[in-house]
Amino acid sequence: MIEPLVIALSKGRILFKSLSLLKKAGIIPIESVENNRKLLFNTKKKYLNLIILRAIDVPTYVKLGAADMGIVGKDVLLENGSKGLYEPIDFKISKCRLMTAGLIGFNVKNTTRKVATKFVNIAKRYYASKGIKANIIKLYGAMELAPIMNLAEEIIDIVDTGNTLKENGMEPKTLIKNISTRLIVNKTSMIIKYKSINPLIELLISII
């Protein structure tokens, strides 16, 4: 018998790309995910359900086994840790870069650097690895405003086209990590639901 599986998907910009990948694997929600307040969806594959979460909650659900698998950005995994998770597929979608950035032409001084970011853990590791003292200020969005308003000298944020930085008089400085969307799998599920999960991973690898 095939074991039931739950896949956690991230709301927001990667949701529809994730759904279209799953569609190619025949995993299609039986009702529309768009304009729907529901968060749990049955699919045409009876053994497989989808749940829709904030990106940051996807690793938590998968780590704790409330979902067997998840689709999430590497930035979220780097920030929140991926202990207890397998990461078998890089879907190579929603590619972007995690970078430091600052006002155009501004050079940071050699004293303690003021940095605004929502990626606090990544920032701490990054500056520690460079031997740079940093005072890290946690923000939840609109990081590009922080240097303009003199809240910080530098930000760490996602950069794709660079337009958001440019429109706010900023420029990317140093690349920290290339980011893309990953499949994550709960380690226990991988063992006890091997017969469902392994063919699914192989199928997903074959379609990307």
Q: Is 95 helix (H, G, I), strand (E, B) or coil?
A: coil
Handedness of CA 30, 33, 39, 45 (dihedral sign): positive
Shortest approach of ligand ATP to residue 13 CB, angstroms?
A: 4
Is 162 near ligand PRP (CB under 6 A)?
A: yes
DSSP 28: -
Q: Which is nearer to ligand PRP, 100 or 196 (CB)?
A: 100
Phi, psi torsion values for 90, nearest 5 degrees:
-100, 110
Q: Which is nearer to ligand PRP, 27 or 159 (CB)?
A: 159
Give the whole-angstrom CA distance, residue 179 versus residue 176: 10
Handedness of CA 58, 164, 138, 131 (dihedral sign): positive
Is 32 near ligand PRP (CB under 6 A)?
A: no
Residue 3 interacts with which of ligand ATP, ligand PRP, none, CB < 5 to 8 Å by class? none
Choose, by CB under 6 A, the member of 23, 60, 86, 164 that binds ligand PRP: 164
List interacting residues with ligand ATP (CB under 6 A): 10, 12-14, 54-55, 73, 75-76, 94, 96, 158, 160, 179
